[in-house]
Amino acid sequence: MTTNRTFTMIKPDGIENGYSGAILDHILKAGFKIIAMKYTRLSPETAGQFYAIHKERPFYKDLVSYMSSGPIVAVILEKENAVEDFRTIIGATDPTKAADGTIRKLYAKSIEANAVHGSDSNENAAIEGNFFFSMLERF
């Protein structure tokens, strides 16, 4: 079954490099609708919880430190086939391998500081959206 929502963050490098407006514009022009949006900052503890699935990976500590190094924008998005289509418009994790015209190709700096997060499944989209937004904040 496909649900039609996904979750994204504009990561600290995207904000720091002044790309938050361009990235949101790119997302909206691709047909996604914003359901909820929050400008906030992760603590090392909350970044660690968010990325707990990667706890055993060698880059986990650096990732947690990087993701708590500056503000982020957390967004719940809606579109038909949202999870898959969003992964397509952001491109590969490593921006040097991302397809032309994708958000990571256009705006990311490195495999770690790669401008945006995108949920990898419907289940994780719901978990990640709930991590940042309570039911009352959404419609």
Q: Amino acid letter at 62?
A: D
User: Which residue of 43, 88, 93, 96 would you call a contact of ligand IDP, by CB under 6 A?
Assistant: 93
Tell me which of Mg ion, ligand IDP, none is bound by residue 68, counting a contact when its beta carbon lies within the kind-specific cut-off of 5 to 8 angstroms.
none
The token pair that represents 137 in the structure block: 């904040």
Q: Is 117 in the site for ligand IDP (CB under 6 A)?
A: yes
Q: Which is nearer to Mg ion, 78 or 120 (CB)?
A: 120
**What angle do helix axes 122-132 and 82-90 make, rounded to 10 degrees?**
80
Rounded to the nearest whole angstrom, what is the least distance from the CB of residue 113 to ligand IDP in the complex?
7
Distance of CA 90 to the CA centre of its chain: 9
Active site annotation includes 26: no
Q: Is 114 in the site for ligand IDP (CB under 6 A)?
A: yes
Tell me which of Mg ion, ligand IDP, none is bound by residue 117, counting a contact when its beta carbon lies within the kind-specific cut-off of 5 to 8 angstroms.
ligand IDP
Rounded to the nearest whole angstrom, what is the least distance from the CB of residue 72 to ligand IDP in the complex?
12
Active-site option among 68, 117, 119, 129: 117
Helix (H, G, I), strand (E, B) or coil at 15: helix
Restricting to residues 8-67, which ones interact with ligand IDP according to CB under 6 A? 54, 59, 63
Helices assigned H by DSSP within 8-121? 12-16, 20-29, 44-50, 60-67, 82-90, 103-107
Rounded to the nearest whole angstrom, what is the least distance from the CB of residue 108 to Mg ion in the complex?
14
Best CA proximity match to 72, nearest among 98, 105, 47, 104: 47
